């Protein structure tokens, strides 16, 4: 996989030209990154990502460069789903989805990290008045006029867009992945051609609209806020593709075989190129223009409109959220290996894929802090007991 990502890096400068904004909205020089696929031994955190683009500071990515990592063994297991647990898809889509979910996600992760987070220019006027762009020449493709705003001095992407910056950027990167996965040269880099390539495109887009629906789990109606940047981003993309109309995406409230509320989401694969691609192209260009020009008001208005979750319209997203919660799959538990040093030899210790194996791996990872760790875990468990008691 690292070889494929290396070829993607080699093609990056050419592929950047395919993105739907003028050359002036791209960095003056592409800072060629490293892109590696790793098998991770242990990842410390509450969740394990499938891919990483570092650093997270966009101003550093703009001027100093960035690195990309794909976690290969996470990709291979994190998104595996049994057919009988695959929610909200038509029966005729499920086998194809299971077959191509992994390969399509590899393509999406590569494009998202390298050409999503790695693309686009921020227009900046330094405190001394110098600009990294020509104020008399750069045209806003949305208005046809000279750009009217930019970042001033020490302002950064995060300081300007603050609370929406993270999700907005994830949405932009996801859109780049959807847009460029339609490129045959990209698919050939991943050794995909013919019918296989067409299936990967279809499943990548289908997975995105399904992910947008699943993302409703992370919306909090009481405060009208989103709790997870990627999930909000995917919901926004679902809204964009639904708004494109012409039968591209269909989202229906249904009743399951158990008599409980269910939902069905479908994607017309014949409409991806004539309807889906132009919709993502327009939206992606708007995201980039607003980001490049530091147009916070425009960015918040655009992103806020597509992030809104209401019960208006035929989709009735608030009601769908209840269905998503009802049908949610149990969160995957990742059992990670440990290493022990025995003299000059390193021994790999693996565990069974069960809850007991997970607990054992965790306790053996922190042997020196075992008593303190156990006390903290028991305190957390006691604090959560009332949640489980109320479900009895």
Query: What are the residue numbers of the active site?
Result: 113
CA–CA separation, 76 and 38 (whole Å): 12
CA–CA separation, 315 and 323 (whole Å): 12
Task: For residue 249, give every residue at least 6 positions away whose Cβ sits within 8 Å of its Cβ, in sequence order, or none.
Answer: 209, 238, 241, 242, 265, 266, 267, 268
CB 234 within 8 A of CB 280: no
Asked if residue 55 has a cis previous peptide bond (ω within 30° of 0), the answer is yes
User: What does 194-215 look like in DSSP terms, one character per residue?
Assistant: HHHHHHHHHHHHHHHHHHHHHG
HEC secondary structure over 114-162: HHHCCCCCCCEECCCCCECCCCCCCECCCCCCECCCCEECCCCHHHHHH
Look at the chain and count its residues.
Answer: 392
Task: For residue 66, give every residue at least 6 positions away whose Cβ sits within 8 Å of its Cβ, in sequence order, or none.
Answer: 31, 33, 53, 54, 55, 60, 117, 118
Provide φ and ψ at 377, rounded to 5°. -65, -40
Burial of 382 (0-12, 13-18, 19+ CB in 10 A): exposed
CA–CA separation, 248 and 243 (whole Å): 9
CA–CA separation, 12 and 15 (whole Å): 5
Q: Tokens for 100?
A: 């191509």
């Amino acid at each position: 996989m690292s070889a494929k990502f290396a070829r993607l890096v080699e093609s990056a400068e050419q592929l950047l030209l395919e993105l739907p904004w003028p050359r002036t909205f791209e960095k003056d020089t592409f800072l060629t990154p490293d892109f590696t696929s790793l098998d991770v031994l242990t990842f410390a955190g509450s969740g394990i990502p499938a891919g990483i683009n570092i650093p997270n500071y966009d101003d550093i990515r703009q001027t100093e460069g960035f690195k990309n990592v794909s976690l290969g063994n996470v990709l291979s297991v994190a998104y595996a789903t049994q057919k009988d647990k695959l929610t909200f898809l038509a029966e005729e889509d499920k086998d194809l989805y299971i077959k191509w979910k992994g390969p399509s996600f590899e393509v999406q992760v590569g494009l998202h990290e390298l050409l999503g987070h790695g693309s686009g220019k921020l227009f900046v006027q330094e405190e001394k008045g110098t600009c990294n762009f020509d104020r008399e020449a750069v045209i806003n493709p949305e208005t046809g006029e000279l750009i009217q705003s930019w970042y001033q001095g020490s302002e950064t992407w995060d300081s300007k867009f603050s609370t929406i910056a993270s999700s907005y950027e994830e949405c932009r990167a996801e859109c780049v992945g959807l847009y460029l996965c339609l490129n045959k040269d990209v698919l050939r880099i991943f050794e995909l051609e013919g019918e296989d390539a067409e299936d990967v495109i279809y499943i990548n887009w289908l997975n995105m609209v399904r992910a947008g629906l699943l993302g409703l789990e992370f919306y909090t109606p009481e405060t009208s806020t989103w709790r997870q940047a990627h999930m909000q981003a995917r919901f926004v993309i679902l809204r964009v593709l639904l708004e494109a109309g012409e039968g591209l995406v269909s989202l229906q409230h249904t009743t399951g075989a158990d008599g409980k509320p269910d939902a069905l989401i479908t994607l017309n694969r014949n409409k991806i190129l004539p309807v889906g691609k132009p919709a993502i192209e327009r939206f992606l260009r708007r995201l980039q223009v607003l980001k490049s020009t530091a147009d916070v008001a425009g960015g918040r208005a655009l992103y806020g409109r597509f992030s809104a979750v209401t019960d208006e319209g035929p989709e009735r997203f608030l009601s769908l959220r209840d269905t998503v919660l009802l049908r949610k799959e149990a969160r995957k538990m990742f059992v990670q290996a440990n290493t022990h040093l025995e003299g000059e030899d390193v021994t790999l210790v693996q565990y069974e894929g069960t809850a007991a194996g997970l607990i054992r791996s965790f306790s053996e990872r922190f042997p020196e802090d075992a008593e303190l760790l156990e006390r903290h875990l028991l305190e957390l468990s006691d604090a959560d007991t009332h949640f489980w008691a109320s479900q009895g």
